Chain A
Amino acid sequence: MSLLTIFFTLLFYFATATIVIGLAYRIRLYASTPTPLRIPTTPAPISAGGVVRRMFFEVTLFNSLFKSNKWIWLFGWIFHAALLFVLLRHLRYFTDPVWSWVAFIQPLGAYAAFAMVAGLAGLWARRLLVDRVRYISSPSDHFMLALLFGIGLTGLGMKYVAHTDIVALKAFCLGLMYFDWQPMPDDLVLNLHLLLVALLMIVFPFSKLLHAPGVFFSPTRNQIDNPREKRHLPTATSSATKQAG
């Protein structure tokens, strides 16, 4: 096995372990932290079904963001929707035979890459040009955009400029999954793509990318507005549940 193969094999196991364990830990933490009081931002749904609907539109359409700022919404939504397509399209490297719906979206996914990069560019432009957003940005915010931008560009590079050996890459990916290690193709653009992807996976559970699980746990969005009908309790064991008076 080449050094390159050993390096990427170990890197991807490490990255996968980090994102999986890191996210699981964080999600457990969110789930187990008490909510002392009822704090939905009103007007809020008064039934559980209503909350499911509210969350669904928040996550799929970025409803609040739409009310808030049309430009951020436009760029942000394009970026995320495209990202979703790109990721789904990538399933073909990990499934054999390729699931039929993954095969079906392949052509669409190709355009998604451009949309993703365009969305990122729009978000980055705002971050650099709007004085308020520039003020609140720290290096890590630029870094995150750069990382995704880099992944997008190297991906597009492989697709349209310097084609890579997809068959060999797929063998490598499947090899990782079934612990039957195969060589990593020696291709600079691909290696760069994968290096950046691994980096993204590693920083995910330590960064603002935690907004992805976080949005589901936000009490201002996921609580039902029924405090008069149902007495809110922080958690089963907390002291505030002691009957007062």
Chain B
Amino acid sequence: MAEFDTPTLKPYPEIPSIEIGSMAHSQPYVAKQDIQQKIGFPGELIDDWEQVAIDKMGELVKGSRALRVFLDSCVKCGACTDKCHYYIGTSDPKNMPVARQDLFRSIYRRYYTLAGKYFPGLVGARDMDKGALDEWYSYFHQCSQCRRCSVYCPYGIDTAEISMAAREIMDVVGVGQKYCNEIIGKAQTIGNNLGLPEPALANTLEGLEEDIEDETGVTVRLPLDVKGADILLVTPSADFFAEPHVDGLIGYAKVFHQAGLTWTISSYASEAANFGLFIGSYENMQVLALRIREAALELGVKRIVFGECGHAWRVAYNFMNTLAGPFDFLDSNYPMPQHICEVTYDLLQRNALKMDPSANDDMVLTFHDSCNIARGSRMGDFEGGQFVIPREVIKASCNHFFDMPSDTVREATFCCGGGGGLLTDDLVELRVKGSLPRMEALQQVVDHHGVTHMAAICAICKSQFSKILPYYGFEMDQIVSIHQLVSNAIQLGGEA
């Protein structure tokens, strides 16, 4: 891996001048044969791949109004050019959303539009060849599918949709990304991204129960595969072991405990994350969604609740009903699915939780809106609930909270830099540079309000920040889970 310099934090964000090709070298490891074949893709670049890629492109566009409209409509106005954190952090113009789309659009034009067939030079159309594929592999793995560009485009053109389509085409011709595809394989066979089998999971949960008892003197259960529980909790598997994720899981357990709700985790569907989204694969996404459905049926639960995970919530909230529904066997008095923050928020509204916010007085907090929650889903029953509800839960758990600058939060939030299937060590340079806008925003509230910690509700964000905070002179434990704050503040004991 090439050496690189961590960008310096500036007091005011700047739009960099373009530096052509500055990130062309950034590519993740390619998936080996067995990984590819396990999830239904060819093991290596197939013969005649150009034609297969072109045909697949046609098929995808035919099946997606979004692609069709986005490919036709971009007027190259340039409004999105300074909106991507990867462009801001790397200055590579191919990381400008419109330029990233154009890697795809130029080939679409060449084969599927009149103008591109007869006047390729005029409209910037391009042949599908090795050079193009190489650029695709670089730059479609420099998009975290965060949708920030789509907020600012006058037509809502969502580069994430195009990245997903491009990754799917690459998979179909045999050039997959190791990190994502390996994980999808594990989740499909073992039930979670870590490949954690049932006994290991049971062990971990028992260990956590002991920890809670040691710390609070109260027995709080973390049940596994309990039939007849009311709630199936589906959470990212990082919650089972990684810091600060696991403190969040303890928080969920305490909330359920105090509210007197019966719940369970399923060892069959022990993963909320759904990496099928990142590679644009409807089929792979559906496999995991169906596992959750089957687990819910098998365990006979009444509700499904999702833990703190960004893209998982997008898939759950927006897609599950389509992919694996209808869910009419669940209790219709609760939304399907429900987010753990919604559960906690509702309980707080009803004064069903005993909170002592001063338990978190050693921290001054800010909140990082995760992209997929902010721009790809909702919480609660009102527009923008995904911004209000997590903040209300934080405020109920601590006394000191300050938001980052308004152009870096809510729907304008900047990606952590590691989303969309890029959370891998072979992309560290990209991840560090891509987090620049978020780090600058954090630095501002650190300077002005003495913020000490940033809370998040996404497993990827948490892992990414743990890794990159030190590059910018912060401490890795300055990132916390929201339910870690809840866990600290909630006063156990005395309930039934």
Contact = CB atoms under 8 A, between A and B. Distances in A.
A100 interface: no
B370 to A, nearest CB: 12
A130 B78 contact: yes
Contacts of A36: 63-64, 282, 322
Nearest to B383: A43
Nearest to A67: B152
A33 B411 contact: no
Contacts of B69: 30, 214, 217-219
Contact of A42 (B62, B96, B411): B411
Contacts of A210: 72-73
B440 interface: no
Contacts of B79: 64-65, 68-69, 72
Nearest to A31: B65
Given A141-B76, A231-B326, A245-B294, A33 B151 contact: no
A232 B324 contact: no
B212 interface: no
Interface stretch (B197-205, B313-321, B467-475, B480-488): B313-321
Interface string B399-411: 0000000000001
Interface stretch (A1-9, A153-161, A164-172, A220-228): A220-228
Contact of A26 (B20, B72, B81, B147): B72
Interface string B5-16: 000000000010
B375 A41 contact: yes
A244 B291 CA distance: 11
A208 B80 CA distance: 16
A12 B18 CA distance: 44
A214 B80 contact: no
Nearest to A215: B155
Contacts of A35: 64-66
Nearest to A38: B318
B263 to A, nearest CB: 20
B378 A225 contact: yes
B75 A211 contact: yes
Nearest to A219: B66
A64 B154 contact: yes
Contacts of A67: 151-152
B152 A64 contact: yes
Interface stretch (A132-140, A182-190, A193-201): A132-140
B493 interface: no
B325 interface: yes
A220 B158 contact: yes
A206 interface: yes
A210 B68 CA distance: 11
Nearest to B148: A41
Interface of A: 26, 29-30, 33-39, 41-46, 50, 58, 62, 64-65, 67-69, 72, 76, 123, 126-127, 130-133, 135-141, 143, 206-208, 210-211, 214-215, 217-221, 225, 227-228, 231-234, 240, 243-245
5 contacts: A33-B68, A37-B318, A39-B318, A39-B376, A68-B80
Given A136-B102, A208-B76, 13 more contacts: A30-B68, A39-B376, A45-B383, A58-B154, A133-B76, A140-B124, A208-B72, A208-B75, A218-B69, A219-B69, A221-B156, A225-B383, A228-B317
